[in-house]
Structure formats: C-alpha cells, structure tokens
Amino acid sequence: RKVVDRYIAHVKMLETGTKVQVDQAELETVIPNTGGSSTEGGGWYVAHVKMLETGTKVQVDQAELETVIPNIGGSVMILNGVHRGAKAKVLSVDVGAFCTRVHIEEAPCKGKEVELPYEDISKLA
C-alpha cells in the first residue's frame, strides 16, 4: 500500500463491472480473445473474468490483467486513490505521460477534474 495525500491508496485494479485485458500467454491458447469483463473480485488480487466473445468465465490474478482506456467521453471507474469507486468521464488522454484527465460524476468530489495514470482507471462494462 502507498500513502497518498494522507489517504491510503490500495494497489488494486479489480472492480466488478469494469473491462479488463488479460495478458497471459497460457490463457491465449485456451481462449483466443483476451478481452473480458470483471464479474466479481475473488479476493484482493484475483478476479473472475467473463470473456467477451466466448462467455467463458476464468479466474485470473491481478498481475495478468491490464485496464482498458476508453475514447474521450467514455465512462470509467476510478480503481485506486482517494476517489476509488467513483464513476467518471474521460476528458483527455496524454499518451506520452500515460495518464488521463477525468471529470468525476459521483461521490463526494462530484464535478472535480483529476489527472490519473492509466492503471488507476478502467472502462465500465
């Protein structure tokens, strides 16, 4: 865990209802399309992922997942930091700095704009 702005930020990227990309060579031989939707967390670092094309459910470790960044205007969920669990809209993407600027749409900080790294947000399913 890291301490950020006097709040604890858990290094976790699993939230039910977010899209993820599975980055696991062994899984690709069984399931060719590696895009999925996180259906439920199986613990702090494990997720149950439903593959989008096949509908197959697999249990995957967090280390084998990547977040999915939508286009500008797309809906995301904030996965880490003080705004964890809040839904937001993507305002801009800075490819060089690997970060996005989002507009928070709920939670106590509704209306606030923040800049977050790619791994701290994921597209809503």
Q: Are 37 and 89 in contact (CB under 8 A)?
A: no
First vs last C-alpha separation in the chain: 27
Q: Residue 75: its pLDDT value, please? A: 95
Query: CA 89 to CA 120: how far, in whole Å?
Result: 13
Q: Going residue by residue through the chain (125 aa), what tens digit of pLDDT does each one get?
A: 444 444 444 455 567 777 777 776 656 555 555 566 555 555 567 777 777 777 777 777 777 777 888 999 999 999 888 888 899 999 999 999 999 999 999 878 899 999 999 888 988 87
Query: CA 102 to CA 22: how far, in whole Å?
Result: 24
Q: Residue 29: its pLDDT value, please? A: 52
Q: Residue 58: its pLDDT value, please? A: 77
Phi first, then psi, for residue 98 (nearest 5°) are 55, 45
Tell me which amino acid residue 84 is. R
**DSSP code per residue over 105-117:** -SSTTTT-EEEEE
